[in-house]
Chain A
């Protein structure tokens, strides 16, 4: 159900269970916080949106972890993540401008969360690149089978293979190529 306000706990539960309305409400609630911060530290609203979306992804990754518990206010957690991500980006862009910290801003240590996220991000980037290199029809075929769990019959129909065995052979070849790319690059 959509409602006006959620508690921190409700946000986290909703996110854990992939509830779209909760995700949307969460997104709306904290965007301005991050926008203001990024803009005040020489970013554009576009950069703020990117940072904010990555922040929500980090939050999402964390609530999916079994046994995740929030040890501070959700707002503080979100702000801390966004702050770290923006700091990182400023550094990556070679900015010499000193990072302006606001004495009013509440920050918690999120290095572990950011560390996990960056590791995962690198892995996903690699997979993105491999999948792009793989091209169609392999990309969709592998996703259909391994992510969306379509049957070989459905796949062979979708891709116009004469039978499920042909589809299976094709899938095997695709997977071998992906494996080669992913592990040996």
Chain B
């Protein structure tokens, strides 16, 4: 009998009691034999593990396909950009986000709280939420006779603003609002509450791109925005946002080409911004989007900061899905808003500015 067959029989059963005893005696006395048997056992163990592992992998990937296969894929942001931009940006990658936010109050209603900011701000955040809802309650109360009550939803943990990148459901908002979100919904004057899915995010520049599935309400409305990357200090700018349930207009000027702590990814703006304005668009007089509101300086009134539109473009350019990239591309979009009266511009923009509601676990 070959050694391997003897080994197999010993392992799987098939030796008589005497043969078994003889086998064990030989193992104890014949080192070479024992080593060969060890090798054999190791090989069989590996073979079994290999097969079990491959089976488990297959099962898991089947479960995944069945349970999550239809989910919108999330495309990562390539990091080449961060490397390319050296000093300013390398810091921004993660350290600076914390550092900047430490002194810049982030403008999402209801509790994006930072440890460094202490209790005063914490309370303020909560008050704002309460205020917002009690205000809404009063208004709802007034309107109650006139129309049927709106569907009740649980209040979101954080509310803010977002704006569309096209009329196919893609929109951009602040990453700091949606960070660790369990779910994200949007609504506005033309659209009922719609669920949104994360497409891409870049914590370093505080940009998140989302998509809503149901675009019936907006797909036939002309997309109003065009984008512009260069603006001058002193140019008049305006924003639309959701510091409360109704859309609110704000205007001011571009104060500086850099943000808090000379951060070149941001503009300083003199628009009075409130919690809830985070993620809203900053537009120039002609209605070109030049930035995205990020926060305000806690120690100074009417000093806001906006991410430069170029970084939204960058986020889109770094998407790995080429057709999506093309779809969201900045260039070639003509401004529908140019030359219009402000009130007309706002009318055209409204369907594409969203109240973003973020739920955390």
Q: Taking beta carbons and an 8 Å cutoff, which residues of A are in contact with B?
A: 20, 23-24, 27-28, 31-32, 35-36, 39-40, 42-49, 52-53, 56-57, 60, 95-100, 102-104, 120, 123-124, 126-128, 131, 142-143, 146-147, 149, 168, 172, 175-176, 178-179, 182-183
Contact yes or no, B83 A96, CB < 8 A: yes
Bitwise interface map of B from 37 to 58 toward A, beta carbon under 8 Å scored 1, else 0:
0011001101111111110110
Given contacts A31-B67, A44-B73, A44-B75, 13 further A-B pairs with CB under 8 A are A36-B180, A39-B74, A44-B76, A46-B73, A47-B76, A53-B57, A96-B90, A100-B203, A102-B180, A127-B46, A128-B54, A146-B48, A175-B4
The answer to whether B46 touches A124 (Cβ under 8 A) is yes
Instruction: Let me know if B2 is at the binding interface, CB within 8 A.
Output: yes
Query: Hey, which chain A residues are within 8 Å of B198, CB to CB?
Result: 39
Q: What separation, in Å, do the CA atoms of A172 and B12 have in the docked complex?
A: 16
Q: Can you list 20 residue pairs at the A/B interface with Cβ under 8 Å? A: A20-B59, A27-B60, A31-B67, A40-B203, A44-B73, A53-B61, A56-B60, A57-B60, A96-B83, A97-B79, A100-B203, A102-B180, A120-B49, A124-B50, A127-B50, A131-B50, A143-B51, A147-B51, A172-B4, A182-B46
The number of residue pairs between A and B whose CB atoms lie closer than 8 Å in the complex comes to 115
CB distance from B35 to the nearest CB of A (A): 11
Residues in B whose Cβ lies below 8 Å from that of A172: 2, 4-5
Contacts of B341 in A (CB 8 A): none
Q: Decide: A28 and B47 in contact? CB cutoff 8 A.
A: no
Q: Which residues of the other chain, A, contact B51 by a CB distance below 8 angstroms? A: 143, 147
Report B's interface with A, CB cutoff 8 A.
Answer: 2, 4-5, 12, 39-40, 43-44, 46-54, 56-57, 59-61, 63-64, 67-68, 71, 73-77, 79, 82-83, 90, 93-95, 115, 179-182, 198, 201, 203, 320
Contact B50 A24 (CB under 8 A): no
Nearest B residue (CB) for A168: B5
Bound-state Cα–Cα, A126 to B75, Å = 32
Chain A residue at smallest Cβ distance from B44 = A146
Contacts of B61 in A (CB 8 A): 53
When C-beta atoms are compared, the residue in chain A nearest to B39 turns out to be: A183
Contact in complex: A98, B94 (CB < 8 Å): yes
* Shortest distance from the beta carbon of B192 to any chain A beta carbon, whole Å: 24
Q: Are B201 and A40 in contact (CB under 8 A)?
A: yes
Known A40-B201, A44-B73, A102-B180: A146·B59 in contact at CB below 8 Å: no
A-B pairs, 7 with minimum CB distance: A45-B74, A127-B50, A44-B76, A53-B60, A147-B51, A98-B94, A127-B46
Residues in A with CB closer than 8 Å to B77 are 42
A97/B82 in contact, CB under 8 A:
yes
Given A149-B12, A172-B4, A49 and B74 touching (CB < 8 A)? no
Chain A residue numbers with a CB within 8 Å of B12 are: 149
Instruction: Say whether B64 contacts A27, CB under 8 Å.
Output: yes
Q: Taking each of B52, B60, B77, B79, which has the highest tally of chain A beta carbons within 10 Å of its own beta carbon? A: B60
Q: Judging by beta carbons under 8 Å apart, are A103 and B46 in contact?
A: no
Contact yes or no, A44 B180, CB < 8 A: no
Q: Are A42 and B75 in contact (CB under 8 A)?
A: no
Taken together as a complex, chains A and B put the C-alpha atoms of A32 and B181 apart, in Å, by 10
Pairwise interchain contact A143-B79, C-beta atoms closer than 8 A:
no
Whole-angstrom distance from the CB of A46 to the nearest CB of chain B? 7
Residues in A with CB closer than 8 Å to B94 are 97-100
Q: Which residues in A have their C-beta under 8 angstroms from that of B74?
A: 35, 39, 44-45, 48
Docked complex Cα distance between A52 and B203 (Å):
22
Name which residue of chain B comes closest to A99, CB basis: B94
Instruction: Give the CA-CA distance A128 to B201 in the complex, in Å.
Output: 36
A96-B83, A179-B43 known; A40 vs B73 contact (CB < 8 Å): no
How far in angstroms is the closest Cβ of chain A from B12? Answer: 7
Residues on B with C-beta less than 8 A from A57 are: 53, 56-57, 60
Q: Is the CB of A127 within 8 A of B63?
A: no
Nearest CB in chain A: distance from B78 CB, A: 9
By a CB distance below 8 angstroms, the chain B residues around A97 are: 79, 82, 93-94
Q: How far is the CA of A104 from the CA of B93 in the complex (A)?
A: 19
Q: A42-B76, A53-B60, A100-B203 are in contact. Are A142 and B53 (CB under 8 A)?
A: no
Q: Is the CB–CB distance between B46 and A45 below 8 Å?
A: no
Q: Are A104 and B180 in contact (CB under 8 A)?
A: yes
In the complex, what's the smallest C-beta–C-beta distance from A44 to chain B, in angstroms? 4
Q: Is A127 touching B75 in the complex (CB atoms < 8 A)?
A: no
B201 to A39, Cβ gap below 8 A?
yes
How far, in angstroms, from A42 to B73 measured CA to CA in the complex? 14
- Chain B residues within an 8 Å CB radius of A44: 73-76, 320
Q: Give A100 to B83 CA distance when docked, in angstroms.
A: 16
Q: Is the CB of A49 within 8 A of B180?
A: no
